[in-house]
Amino acid sequence: MSAGTVVYVLELVGLYVFATSGALMAVHKGFDIVGIVVLATATALGGGILRDVIIGDTPPAAFTNVNYLVIPVAAAVVTFFVHPVVRRLSVTVLVFDAAGLGLFCVTGTIKALDFGLGSLQAVLLGVTTAVGGGMLRDIIARETPALVQVDTDLYAIPATAGALVVAVAHRADLPMPAVATCAAVLVFAFRLVAMIRHWKAPRAWSWPPDRYPSWSRRRVR
C-alpha cells in the first residue's frame, strides 16, 4: 500500500472518530438532530479545512471529495441512534477525540511535507490540523477548548510529539506508511495515559505575595 493511500485511509478514519466525538458532545448538550450533524461535521472538517487553506490547497478536500462530507454525516446519524448504549458520554468523547488527535496530526504533517514545507512548519501545521476541529467543537458547544483549559491533561503536547516523529522519519527517508500508523497510535496512547494519570503541562511560577509589604501592594493598586 502506497504512502498516499495510507494517509487517505487514516484521514477518513480520523474524520469518522472526530465526527463521533462532536456528535457525542452534541448529544451530551441536548442538541437536536440538526445540531448533532452540524457539530459532528464542524469537528471533523475544521482542522483539515484550516490546513488546506494555509498551504494553498484550495478548494479544500472537504469541498472536492464527497467522502469528506458523507463520513461525518454518517457518524452523526449512527451516534444519534446508538448513543443510549454509551454510559459515560464525557469519557467517550475524550477517547474519540484522542483517536482523532493522533490521526489528524499525522495526516496534517505529511500533507504539509508533501507541499514542500520545512520540518518545523509541517509540525506546526500538523498540530493545527489535530486541534482545530476539537477547538471548533468546544467553541460551538460553549465549552472552554481543551487546548487552553485550566489544569487540562496534556493535549497539544502528544500531538506535537506525533508530528515530530513523522517529520524526523520523513527527513530520514523512512517508510511513511508504517511511520504514519505507528505515530498515530503513539499519540492516541500518549493522550490516553495523560488522561488516566492526569499529566499536565507546567504553569508559570507565581511569586509569593508576602514577599512585599501590605502597604506597598495598596499603593501599587
CB count within 10 Å of CB 171 equals: 10
Count the residues in the chain: 221
pLDDT in the model for residue 5: 81
Instruction: Give the confidence band of 201 by pLDDT, cuts at 50, 70, 90.
Output: confident
Structural contact between residues 93 and 25, judged by C-beta atoms closer than 8 angstroms: yes
The pTM for the full model equals 0.84
Mean pLDDT of 95-124: 93
Distance CA 86, CA 83 (A): 5
* d(C-alpha 102, C-alpha 52), whole Å: 18
Q: Taking residues 63-78, report their average pLDDT.
A: 94
Band the pLDDT of 89: cuts 50, 70, 90: low
For the chain, which residues make up each domain, given as ranges?
3-220
**Pairwise CA distance, residues 97 & 10, whole Å:** 14
